[in-house]
Amino acid sequence: MPLEQPVHFPELKQRNVFSVISSPEIKESKLIFVTDMEGPQVLGDTVAEVISQKILHGDIIYRRIYDWYTEATSSRRRTKGVRRPEGLPPLSAQEGTDILFTLPLLLATDTDERFIQEVAMEYKRTPGSHQLLEYLKNEGALVVGVTTSLVGPNKVIGREIGLDDVIGTPFPLDQAGKILKESGKYKSEIALVNSFLSDCNNIIEEHGEYSDILKERIGRFYEKELSISYDYEVRKERNGHKTVIGAMIEEIGVVGDRSKAAVALALKRSKLIKGGFLVTIGDGTNDAVMLGLPGARLSIALNGGPVKEAKIGVITNDVSVLIFLIKIAQENPSMDIDTLIKEAQKVVGNRAIIHKGGQGVSSELIEKHKKMKEFLRGQTGNLVP
């Protein structure tokens, strides 16, 4: 049954995508560097680490939520190159929205924002990140982090490592817990979450993490039990939410694929930006739209990034090699991408593989990207051959 009254939480809905333009840290610059945080600048995944520490089989459940959600929504997202089924409008979903699906799981384990901050601050810098950011600062660049991950911890990290600002996904865990308790639904809805987690753990232990039974249970929990939907028609017809948790999750504005692109575009078009030499860098699926923007002089898919959308792919365990790409491009504004890559590769030698992006990228190169990303994140012990 729907809740007795429709619920809205405007305080949770505010997207901070464009706040960077009015930030006091923003300055005039001829070089704009928009970077993903986890991967290009710091190693690790804060949400994954928190879930792993707080929930039995949490890392598996988190990965399978991502897989289920991606499969369920990818054909109808408003992303470049996606052909939606005829007659169906796009979803309001973005790549990365699934990060919000961890909120009820953390509410059920009494996790608070302070704990998340403590985990996040155990980050390690990506090798070469310090030198890259130092070079950019010396060049007077405007350096903005944009991440699907949680905005609170990443703003702190961004200030610590020297970024001008960080845009990320709001994750008001403490506030959500307070709202849920004040609603009088805390006990019943947390029981619903705990039942879901118990079922997931039983399924994993009996059938394995890739079981279709697990995928079905995840879908039923979020779509049926919490009644979360990013389909406008479903929202219109359902006549309210079943749960306060579901209503809150729908209100929070994730910084996903389209929002990342919006940040880069907003900076490019801002009157504060002089010259508009834009560089974008990312290493994940949700960076694809941003890397596909035609207005960027350089768009770089780094170590596992969406190389088919980017102009350039770079495979390296030392991101300071990007300095040479940027420097050569700045000094030679009319140089074509092929020549730029050739000249940069000469300088960096065997410190990196620099190649052209686009649809012609070989499966061998894509596999090398993947292996380097896994190596840097500690998932394998071997460097890319």
In the prediction, which pLDDT does 238 show? 82
β-bridge mates for residue 101, sequence order: none
pLDDT of 380 over the 60 cut: no
What's the whole-model pTM score? 0.90
In the prediction, which pLDDT does 135 show? 97
In this structure, what token pair is assigned to residue 249? Answer: 């999750």
- Region of poorest pLDDT, from 66-75, 335-344, 371-380: 371-380
- The per-residue DSSP string of 290-329 comes to HHT-TT-SEEEEESSS-TTTSSEEEEES-GGGHHHHHHHH
Tens-digit pLDDT profile for residues 48-93: 999 999 999 999 999 999 999 999 988 877 655 556 666 677 788 8
**Mean per-residue pLDDT of the chain:** 88
Q: Measure Cα distances from 85 to 61, 206, 304, 379 in Å.
A: 29, 36, 29, 37
What does residue 371 show for φ and ψ, rounded to 5 degrees? -65, -40
* Pairwise CA distance, residues 156 & 260, whole Å: 19
Name the pLDDT band for 1 (thresholds 50, 70, 90). very low
Residues 6+ apart with CB under 8 A from 92: 230, 232
* Pairwise CA distance, residues 328 & 345, whole Å: 11
Name the pLDDT band for 4 (thresholds 50, 70, 90). very low
**Burial class of residue 23 in the structure, from the number of CB atoms within 10 Å of its CB (0-12 exposed, 13-18 middle, 19+ buried):** middle
Tens-digit pLDDT profile for residues 226-256: 999 998 888 888 877 789 999 999 888 889 9
Mean pLDDT of the 157-173 span: 93
Q: Which helix (H) or strand (E) segment is 192 a member of? A: helix 186-207
Collapse the DSSP code of 36 into the 3-class scheme (helix H, G, I; strand E, B; otherwise coil) and give the result: coil
Tens-digit pLDDT profile for residues 188-197: 999 999 999 9
**Cβ atoms < 10 Å from Cβ of 146:** 28
Q: Measure Cα distances from 231 to 237, 258, 385 in Å.
A: 10, 17, 44
Which single residue is written with the structure tokens 């089924």?
Answer: 85
